[in-house]
Amino acid sequence: MKILLSLLSLAVALGLTSCEDVVDLTVPRTEPLLVVDGAVTDQAGPYVVKLTTTAPYFENQATPPVTGATLVLTSSDGQQETLREQSPGVYVSGGTVRGRVGSRYTLAIEAAGEHYQAETELRRPLPIDSIRAEYHQDNDPNFPVAGYYILYYGQDLAGKGDYVRFKVFHNGVLRNQPADLNVRTDELVDGTYFNGLNLTNDPEAGVPLRKGDRVRVEVSALTADYYRFLNEMRIQLNNTGLFAPPPANVRTNVRNLDATSPKKAVGYFAAYTVRADSLVIQ
C-alpha cells in the first residue's frame, strides 16, 4: 500500500505524464490453512463436513480439497461415529449421531499429521407462524424498490439469548448475495412477535421474484458464537467502497490441539435447528 501511495504521489507531482514505469510487486506467500465447513442440525442426516485448504488470493483457482483425513463426530449423549469421505474433501455421517436440541457435539479432525477439534451445541428452535409474499411499489417508504418482498411472521421466545439466521430459497436456489446473509439477535426484541419481518431487503438483487415462483424460508437457531461468526462474515462481505475499513480476521471454533503448531484452521463447525415454510407467489 505504501508503494502504491508513493507511485500515485509521484504521478501527481509530474503532472500525470505519459511515461510509465512497470513495477512488479512481490506478494508474500503464506502456508495454506485448513478450512472447515460443516454442521449438525436437528433434521435427518447425513451431516456434511467439507475440508479444503486456503489458496493464494491472486491465484484464480479452486481451493484444494483435503483428502484422506479422519473425522470423528461425538455427541454428549454418548453416540460416536467416523465420517466417510464421500468425494474428495467431502465427509458425511452415517446416522449413528443424531442432532437433538440441548445436546453438544464435538468434531475431531486428523489431517496431514495435525489434530484439530471443534465443539458446538443445538439451541432451541424459533417457530414460524407463516411467511407471505407481498408486492410493493417503489414509492413505499418502507420498501426501497418495487418488487415482491418475503415477510416472516413468528414469535420470539421469552428469555434473551436467541440467535437466528433466515435463509430464502428462490425456486430451490438459496438467495446468496452478500446482503442476503441475514442474522439477528433478540437482545433488543426479546419476546417480540414479528408481524411481517422483511427478509428480502432488495428483491431485485440477483434473479427477481415473480408470480409463480416457489419460495422456501428456513429459520435456523444458532449459538451465540456462530451468530458472531456469520455476522463478522456479513460485515466483511459487505465491506466495500473507497473508504471501507481494512479486512479483519473472522473467528473460528476449530482449534489445533497442539497450541505450538503453526498449522491453524479457519471456518466453522456449527449446529443449528431448522424450521421452514414454503409458498408460491400468486
pLDDT digit string, tens, across residues 5-36 = 333 343 434 343 444 555 554 445 568 999 99
Q: Name the grid cell of 202.
A: 432488495
Cα dihedral value 65, 70, 72, 73, nearest 10: 10
The predicted structure's pLDDT at residue 242: 62
Q: 75 and 42 in contact (C-beta within 8 Å)?
A: no
Going by C-alpha positions, the residue among 111, 65, 64 that lies closest to residue 261 is: 111
What is the Cβ-side half-sphere exposure of residue 234, based on CA atoms within 13 angstroms?
13
Distance, in Å, from the CA atom of 212 to the CA atom of 77, rounded to the nearest integer, reads: 45
Distance, in Å, from the CA atom of 121 to the CA atom of 107, rounded to the nearest integer, reads: 11
Categorize the per-residue pLDDT at 63 as very low, low, confident or very high, splitting at 50, 70 and 90.
confident
Domain extent listing, the chain:
34-123+250-273, 130-225
- pLDDT mean across residues, the chain: 88
Categorize the per-residue pLDDT at 243 as very low, low, confident or very high, splitting at 50, 70 and 90.
low
**CATH no. of 34-123+250-273:** 2.60.40
Q: 36 and 51 in contact (C-beta within 8 Å)?
A: yes
Grouping H, G, I as helix, E, B as strand and the rest as coil, residue 178 is helix
Categorize the per-residue pLDDT at 265 as very low, low, confident or very high, splitting at 50, 70 and 90.
very high
> Which residue is it, cell 502456508?
31
Q: 39 and 271 in contact (C-beta within 8 Å)?
A: yes
Tens digit of each residue's pLDDT (9 = 90 or more) over 100-125: 999 999 999 999 999 999 999 999 99
The mean pLDDT value for 172-180 works out to 92
Grouping H, G, I as helix, E, B as strand and the rest as coil, residue 263 is coil
Radius of gyration of the chain from Cα atoms? 23
